[in-house]
Amino acid sequence: MQEETETKVETETEKEKVAPKKQGALIRYAVLFGIVILINLFVTYAIQVVYPEPEYDQFCKMDQVNQVYEDKQTCVDNGGQWNEAMGEGVTKQEAYCNNNFTCSQDFDAATSIFSRNVFIVFVVVGLLLLVGSLFIPGSSLITQALSLAGVLALIIGSLSYWSDMNDILRLIVLGVALVTILYFAWKKFED
């Protein structure tokens, strides 16, 4: 009976030792993910402050009353796109002018350039974070957070410009990302 009591005491003591380890691990992960998220939020908002995203109304006037152009030449002369009448009967569509054609194209071009530049910033920051995590001595938590923040920055940057990238650039980005991650893993986790 005394052995059972001692075993219970030992088991309770072991549980008491494990509980703080679990709490410590949870706190470590919370801090780790907090750093990862905050670094990427900081980069995102720094970009917004220094390099604001183009807004549609900067390119296309948002007048309270829009001019309606009734003929092709006037429409085109004012930056619009003339759309000829199509179809017959119920599906017939009258000819009309898309007044915002040229300014919308200018907006799309500016947005594409903005996305490309944001992509470049995130890739540079991501690579710097990954490389920095290899050389910063001290806390393993900080180096892990920097490496995860770097990977997340690469993902965010790629997603921001992915739809505007041509296939060759996508292949290059994926190749560089793959080589970078493999090199990072090889350096960081050498056996």
**What is the tens place of the pLDDT at every residue in 15-28?**
555 556 677 888 98
At 13, list the tokens: 């003591």
With beta carbons less than 8 A apart as the criterion, state whether 120 and 165 touch. no
What pLDDT score does 50 carry? 96
pLDDT tens, 106-134? 999 999 999 989 998 998 999 899 888 88
Alpha carbon of 156 to those of 44, 110, 130, 152: distances in Å?
Answer: 9, 19, 15, 6
% of the chain beyond a pLDDT of 70: 83
Highest mean pLDDT among 46-50, 112-116, 178-182: 46-50
Angstrom distance (rounded) from CA 94 to CA 104: 22
Query: Amino acid identity, residue 89?
Result: G
For the cut 70, the answer to whether the pLDDT of residue 2 exceeds it is: no
Angstrom distance (rounded) from CA 25 to CA 103: 54
For the cut 80, the answer to whether the pLDDT of residue 30 exceeds it is: yes
Tell me the average pLDDT of the chain: 83
Highest mean pLDDT among 4-18, 56-70, 79-93: 56-70
Q: Record the pTM.
A: 0.71
What is the average per-residue pLDDT within 94-102? Answer: 84
pLDDT-derived band at 41 (thresholds 50, 70, 90) equals very high
With beta carbons less than 8 A apart as the criterion, state whether 75 and 81 touch. yes
Angstrom distance (rounded) from CA 94 to CA 136: 67
Kind plus residue range of the DSSP H or E element containing 96:
strand 96-98
What pLDDT score does 173 carry? 80
